[in-house]
Chain A
Amino acid sequence: MTRTRKPSSSTLKILDCLSGSPSGLHGYALMKASGLASGTLYPILARLSERGWLGKTWETGEDISGPSRRIYTLTPVGRAQLKDLMENNPLQSSKARAAL
């Protein structure tokens, strides 16, 4: 039997941050935008990517200093899920929004 857990407010915060940035955000920017610690953020990002809610690409460009890093974007599936979550959990969504 598989359990489907309600997404946490941290998950909602991450999805909400990404929904406002169509070009995507890298981990540190997402961390600053959501206020989550890296140890909380990255495992959630991995879980959401595994579910297909997020897309991951490597940062490209000539002005990059240091190693290339991941850019996270919301996939159409993720966007639909976020919309669904916002409609079904208005209280949790408003809490997540208020925390941002």
Chain B
Amino acid sequence: MSSLLNSLLWWAERQLPEGQSEWISDLRYEVGHIQGAFPRQRFLWSGALAALGQVLRIRVGVQRVGQGLLGLAVLSFCLGGLYMAPSIENSVVRTSFYWVLPLYAMMGVLAILNLKLMKRFARCCIAGLGLFWIISGMEVFSSMDGPVYFFRAFAAEVAMIMAGLFIAASYLGWAGNAEPA
């Protein structure tokens, strides 16, 4: 494991510009002086993670890394939903789930590919859900047999999640444009 982490540090050192990689070589020189396997491993792990973080920040960019993580998080949420949905007994809840999962999946894909499009898509979804919420609150629907309250609550919840993703995308855009301190 130590040699693997050492190789990772060595690789990271070569990925970074000279001025920003010096600390990695200093860290590598220090490793040889650490007594005990456990402290050495801890030292290497922490250093390797920090070096990897710096490589990603500099070579890939804060925004791209954030986009990737956000997209993967949303897509894994979708996969979880897809796995869970068949076990939902109530058919209305299950159908609603199946309806909304493609929207989340689209958000996840767009998060990875294009933040601007993702924000636009989120805005459309929030507007659509808001409209649905308002219309389904009309008196005509309250007398209907369908589970209107559930649909309204579900729409509100999805809109809130979309708003959260929209805020995350805005923050990533801001972080990407901000000059490094």
A and B form one complex: yes
Is the CB–CB distance between A43 and B23 below 8 Å?
yes
Q: Within 8 Å of chain A (Cβ to Cβ): is B108?
A: no
Is the CB–CB distance between B22 and A26 below 8 Å?
no
In the complex, A14 Cα to B146 Cα: how many Å?
A: 64
Min CB–CB distance A55 → chain B (angstroms): 13
Q: Within 8 Å of chain A (Cβ to Cβ): is B80?
A: no
Is the CB–CB distance between B46 and A3 below 8 Å?
no
In the complex, A38 Cα to B42 Cα: how many Å?
A: 8
Interface mask (B15-56 → A, CB under 8 Å = 1, otherwise 0): 000011011101101101110000000111111111101100
We find that the number of chain A residues with CB closer than 8 angstroms to chain B is 24
Is the CB–CB distance between A50 and B19 below 8 Å?
yes
Q: Within 8 Å of chain A (Cβ to Cβ): is B138?
A: no
Is the CB–CB distance between A27 and B30 below 8 Å?
yes
Q: Within 8 Å of chain B (Cβ to Cβ): is A46?
A: yes
Is the CB–CB distance between B27 and A38 below 8 Å?
yes
Is the CB–CB distance between B30 and A70 below 8 Å?
yes
Is the CB–CB distance between A69 and B50 below 8 Å?
no
Is the CB–CB distance between B181 and A69 below 8 Å?
no
In the complex, A97 Cα to B50 Cα: how many Å?
A: 25
Interface mask (B48-81 → A, CB under 8 Å = 1, otherwise 0): 1111011000000000000000000000000000
Q: Within 8 Å of chain B (Cβ to Cβ): is A99?
A: no
Is the CB–CB distance between B32 and A42 below 8 Å?
no
Is the CB–CB distance between A28 and B33 below 8 Å?
yes
Interface mask (A5-49 → B, CB under 8 Å = 1, otherwise 0): 100000000000000000000111001000001111011011000
Q: Which 4 A-B pairs have the closest CB atoms?
A: A39-B50, A39-B46, A66-B32, A46-B23
Interface residue ranges, B against A (CB under 8 Å): 19-20, 22-24, 26-27, 29-30, 32-34, 42-51, 53-54, 179, 181
8 A–B contacts from the bound complex (CB under 8 Å): A1-B179, A28-B30, A38-B47, A42-B50, A46-B22, A66-B32, A67-B29, A69-B33
